[in-house]
Structures are given as structure tokens and as C-alpha cells.
Amino acid sequence: MGKRIVIALGGNALGNNLPEQMKAVKKTAKAIADLVQEGHEVVIVHGNGPQVGMIQQAMQYLVREEPDKHVPFPLSVCVAMSQGYIGYDLQNALREELLDRGIDKGVATVLTQMEVDPDDPAFRHPTKPIGAFMTKEEAQAMMDERDHDFIEDAGRGYRRVVASPRPVSVVEIGTIESLVQTDHIVVCCGGGGIPVFRTTGHHLKGAAAVIDKDFAAEKIAEQLDADVLIILTAVEKVAVHFGTPEQTDLDDLVPETARKYIKDGEFAPGSMLPKIQASVEFVESKPGRTALITLLSKASDGISGKTGTKVHM
């Protein structure tokens, strides 16, 4: 029987610009279509690092060159823009690939908001670099004008940093659930979702934050009652002692062992660590759930148990 699967696709896998993205989505569509053809329900969550950075730089250029005509765009709006144009390419490439295989199935992109907690400690200690590199003088001017936070990045210049809070709830979860139940493939929570928090009444206010797409995928997998969370990365399997002669690939991983490896510093922050953490949270959220970490091209083989790192109870 087919499974309900949530896939977390990295933003870097979509290229760094529009021509690269249009090529990348064709490869991505083939791997996802394999899963659909096998009878699985598929929901796709994607990153947006290069894409949202490009949008921000374009907006900053317009404001700098024509300040009387343009105003700065909030980060939440830039995330929404990236969701739209990445989703546009993904859904069209996937629809085309499915039709080429004789599969007539709807594919839809949902502009998705992710509720965060305004009291999340991450807002007091922003650490996520975004946007272009700046000189010290340019960064200082932005700090004075807009109260942004900046860090110096390894001698390459200064970059803005924002909070990376944990996701609380997917605002459009009912819409996504309805689409899945009516046999649609859904692209959603792009870039981890548009971060928002509740204010007075029913108003949702955009937050200057970036949500990790692996944690966003875990949250939507929980709320959709998915069977499997697939987190795609640049390696076929998770490894310990990575990059050393003692490197060991892991076929299976249980939460207790994962926590030991995390405590020992085996997984790099901002890279493999959130993938492991999200996988553990998902499999512990309900009996019978599993997570898989592997390459895009190995997703189908991973589901059938041939490769990848399976995280389970």
C-alpha cells in the first residue's frame, strides 16, 4: 500500500538562479514522480536560501537606486515571493513529468504561513545569516536605519542575521489536507514557511525570521499524520566521524543513539544536525512513523529499504 510522504527538499538543490532552477526541477520532478507512480501520497517542502537572498538583493538595489519610488520589503514578503516562483517551476515540471508517464494528477502550490512563538528564545539571539555581504560602513548604516543585526563573516564582509525560531503550527494545514485527500501533490511551506505570529484579534503579523525547512517539514508531517518524512541531502547516508578514516555510514538510527551522537558533536549545526533532530522528533511523535535521510536520486530505493539512513523507534 502507498504511504503518505512528506519530502524536505533543500533550496540549494534548486540552483542559485532562475536558469539553474529550471534545469534542477526537471531532475527533482523525475525522482518525485517515481514515488507517485509507486502509489504514494506526496507533499513537498523546500528550502529557499539562494532564492530569497536573490530577491532581497534585488529589492535592496531598487531601494538604493530609487529611494523615492521604492520602500524596503520585509523578509516575510521576500519568503512569500520565493514560495511563489519556486512552486511555479516545481509544480509545472512535476505535472509535465507525470503526464509524460500517463499519470493525470493535480499538483498545487500553497502559499504557506508558519506560526511561531514571539517569545521563542531565538528572537533574543538572532544567528541565521541572510542576504548579501556588505562593508562595515554599509552594515552600520542598515543597523542605524532599520535596527537590523549584523555579523562579520570570516573576512568576507558583514551579513544580516535573523532569528530561526521553531515552528509551532502550519496555518494552512486544512487546505493542504484537503488537497492531499483529493489526490493532489502539494508543494508547501517553502523556505520553512512564512513566519508569522498572532497579534490582536485574528491578525497574523510577519516575523523577521527564517524557519529551518527540516523542522518545518517535520511539523507538517506531524499535522498531516504522514507515515514517512524524507529529508533529502547531499549524501546517501548519515555518517559518524565524517571526513575521517573512521567514517562510518549508518543504515539505521534510533532516537537514543541519535541523542548520544548529537551530544558527542557528530553532526554539524546548520547542516546534518537539524535533519537528525527533525527526524527524531517525527518518529517519536507517534508509533509507527519513520524518517529517511538520503539523496534525492535514492528516495525510492530508500523507501523500499535498499539505502539511506532510516530513523525509527
Question: From the CB of residue 233, how many other CB atoms can be counted at a distance below 10 Å?
Answer: 22
User: Nearest CA to 42 among 121, 106, 127, 133?
Assistant: 106
DSSP 73: P
Catalytic residue among 219, 237, 275, 310: 275
Report CA-CA distances (Å) from 250 to 24, 243, 311, 312. 28, 14, 10, 13
Catalytic residue among 10, 11, 190, 302: 11
- Is 275 one of the catalytic residues? yes
Question: From the CB of residue 216, how many other CB atoms can be counted at a distance below 10 Å?
Answer: 28
Q: Are strands 194-198 and 113-116 parallel, antiparallel or unpaired?
A: parallel
Residue written as grid cell 512528506: 6
Catalytic residue among 10, 49, 87, 128: 128
- Is 12 one of the catalytic residues? yes
Catalytic residue among 10, 47, 193, 213: 213
Q: Could you tell me how far CA 291 lies from the centroid of its own chain?
A: 15
How far apart are the C-alpha atoms of 48 and 141, rounded to whole Å? Answer: 27
Catalytic residue among 3, 12, 15, 30: 12
- Is 213 one of the catalytic residues? yes
- Is 286 one of the catalytic residues? no
Contact call for residues 229 and 6 (beta carbons, < 8 A): yes
User: Nearest CA to 187 among 262, 99, 112?
Assistant: 112
Q: Report H helices in 70-195.
A: 75-100, 136-146, 173-181
Q: Could you tell me how far CA 25 lies from the centroid of its own chain?
A: 15
Annotated active-site positions, please? 11-12, 128, 213, 275
